[in-house]
Structure 1
Amino acid sequence: MATSQCCANPPTLDPVYGKGMVVDNFGGLKTYISGALDFSKPAILLISDIFGFDAPILRAWADKLVESGYYVVVPDFLYGDPMPPNDFSQLSTWLQKHGPAKGFEDAKLVIQALKGKGVSAIGAAGFCWGAKVVVELAKSDDIKAAVLLHPAFVSVDDIKEVKVPISILGAEIDKTTPPEVIKQFEEILSTKPEVPSYVKIFAGVPHGWTIRYEVTDKAAVEKSEEAHKDLLNWLNKYVK
């Protein structure tokens, strides 16, 4: 992994940001929740990158999904200990405490909690670190559809095991999971006609472009909005 790029442009975290609310326990985790629970509504599990669930743009993505009829949960899979910003040297040590495998086990508990509340249709989307958690979920029937955004840690073998409709949104300028790897994922998915898939590489953007950018950068905002539209289209097609 290209650690410097993975950690680049960290967000300014804001625990009170968003139109939703934070609850202390949802499936065992502190969670940002957006939207009103309605058994007729599908739910979306959003899984953050290494900077955690307090990221304002991530929460804004959740709030926008609510406008399209979803109930959205953004759990704190990092237990209040996101990656320290601007200190790339700590990434390896941090990952020892916060490996995606633990995130996957926690995610299953969150999905159980959603199903326990009567929600039957659940989709999941993950950013960077969170994409690895989502691809693990996509190997089962726990979710209806998956979206990976500028994924990290995801392997060719992971993609071979995917069982649910999956969309992969990659970045052209990405040393973490470069375009040639994204294209390998696409080639594997093309051999699995039973698994609907959509793969797109966004031109001119770096790793993390969807939720880590300067809000005054009009071009960056437009690229993020394009990715959100792609994510929404996929979820509408396979989760609703």
Structure 2
Amino acid sequence: MGEMIELTSADGHKFQAYAAGDPKSPRALVVVQEIFGVNRHMRDVADRLAQSGYYVLSPAVFDRAERNVELDYTAEGVKKGLELRAAIAESDVMMDIEATAAKLSPRPTGIIGYCWGGTIAWWGATKSKSFRAAVTWYGGGIMQTKEAVPNCPVQMHFGALDKGIPMSDVEAIKQSQPEIPVFIYENADHGFGCDDRASFNAEANKLAEQRSLAFFAEHLV
């Protein structure tokens, strides 16, 4: 079990982050939330990744719009999450991501994100130089900046059944970024890595997490 800590962005904004693992660990990860906040699932992900020897921080990026957000995986939760996401500027999100990375410096740090966080992890790779590796899980917004140049190695994961991220988009991303390993899980839908969703796919989640951890083990040295 981890704990909530407070961080401060460059503009003075104070926000919460869930911290898991040993603060003295030589390697670190930033785990970026879905549109449901730093809820039970995201804390569980952070705890699990920390068990592989990382100090993990999961920043509450919704704090700029509303604090202590923990939404359920319901239609109401989706609606609220989309409203909160729309209320926060990309530049402000990145300020909070940079502040989180700064808290983990100078140890080698990676970033991994899920859903909206998958897109933010892509921003972490392309708009920041604070990370040595980035992993994205079903990041729907990646398509919009698929031509961006990453500043670190990137790995991507998508579900073949994800109607929100059609395979045509994934193929376009692959064509724009031929050096990036892109994994597609044939029987997996959006959110296949979340055991609180009906779309959870234990087999795909296990394989994607193994690949993610192997990627970080290779690059966070």
State TM-score, norm by structure 1.
0.78
Please give the root-mean-square deviation of Cα atoms over the aligned residues, in Å: 2.4
Q: Does the Cα contact within 8 Å between 2:5 and 2:19 map onto a contact in 1? A: yes
Alignment pair present for 1:180 and 2:165? no
* Whole-Å separation in 2 of the counterparts to 1:182 and 1:225: 21
| Shift, 1:101, TM fit | 4.0
Q: Does the Cα contact within 8 Å between 1:61 and 1:228 map onto a contact in 2? A: no
Q: Does the Cα contact within 8 Å between 2:146 and 2:176 map onto a contact in 1? A: no
| Shift, 1:233, TM fit | 1.0
Taking a change above 3 Å as real, the CA distance of residues 65 and 220 of structure 1, as seen in their structure-2 partners, is same
Deviations 1:106-128 (A, max 9, x none): 1011112222xxx3311001111
Aligned residue in 1 for 2:213: 232
Q: Which runs of 5+ in 2 are unaligned?
A: none
* Whole-Å separation in 2 of the counterparts to 1:152 and 1:174: 10
| Shift, 1:231, TM fit | 0.9
Aligned residue in 2 for 1:48: 33
* Whole-Å separation in 1 of the counterparts to 2:214 and 2:43: 19
Q: Does the Cα contact within 8 Å between 1:45 and 1:125 map onto a contact in 2? A: yes
Aligned residue in 1 for 2:4: 22
Alignment pair present for 1:199 and 2:188? no
* Whole-Å separation in 2 of the counterparts to 1:30 and 1:94: 16
Q: Does the Cα contact within 8 Å between 1:213 and 1:221 map onto a contact in 2? A: no
* Whole-Å separation in 2 of the counterparts to 1:121 and 1:110: 13
| Shift, 1:183, TM fit | 1.8
Q: Does the Cα contact within 8 Å between 2:156 and 2:182 map onto a contact in 1? A: yes
Alignment pair present for 1:37 and 2:18? no
| Shift, 1:160, TM fit | 3.1
Deviations 1:5-41 (A, max 9, x none): xxxxxxxxxxxxxx11122346532111111112x61
The range that moved more, 27-36 or 165-174, is 27-36
Aligned to 2:75, what secondary structure does the other structure show?
coil
Q: Does the Cα contact within 8 Å between 1:44 and 1:122 map onto a contact in 2? A: yes
Q: Residue 55 of structure 1 aligns to which amino acid in structure 2?
A: R
Percent identity of paired positions between Structure 1 and Structure 2: 20
Aligned residues: 210
- The counterpart of 2:112, out of the listed 85, 103, 125, is 125
Alignment pair present for 1:161 and 2:149? yes
* Whole-Å separation in 1 of the counterparts to 2:81 and 2:21: 33
Alignment pair present for 1:95 and 2:85? yes
| Shift, 1:201, TM fit | 0.7
* Whole-Å separation in 2 of the counterparts to 1:159 and 1:83: 32
| Shift, 1:152, TM fit | 1.9
| Shift, 1:209, TM fit | 1.0
* Whole-Å separation in 1 of the counterparts to 2:62 and 2:164: 20
Taking a change above 3 Å as real, the CA distance of residues 55 and 98 of structure 1, as seen in their structure-2 partners, is farther
| Shift, 1:237, TM fit | 1.0
State TM-score, norm by structure 2.
0.84
Aligned to 1:33, what secondary structure does the other structure show?
strand
| Shift, 1:64, TM fit | 2.1
Aligned to 1:53, what secondary structure does the other structure show?
coil
Q: Which runs of 5+ in 1 are unaligned?
A: 1-18
Aligned to 1:173, what secondary structure does the other structure show?
coil
* Whole-Å separation in 1 of the counterparts to 2:80 and 2:16: 24
- The counterpart of 1:189, out of the listed 152, 169, 177, is 177
Deviations 1:75-99 (A, max 9, x none): 1111223567422555653332135
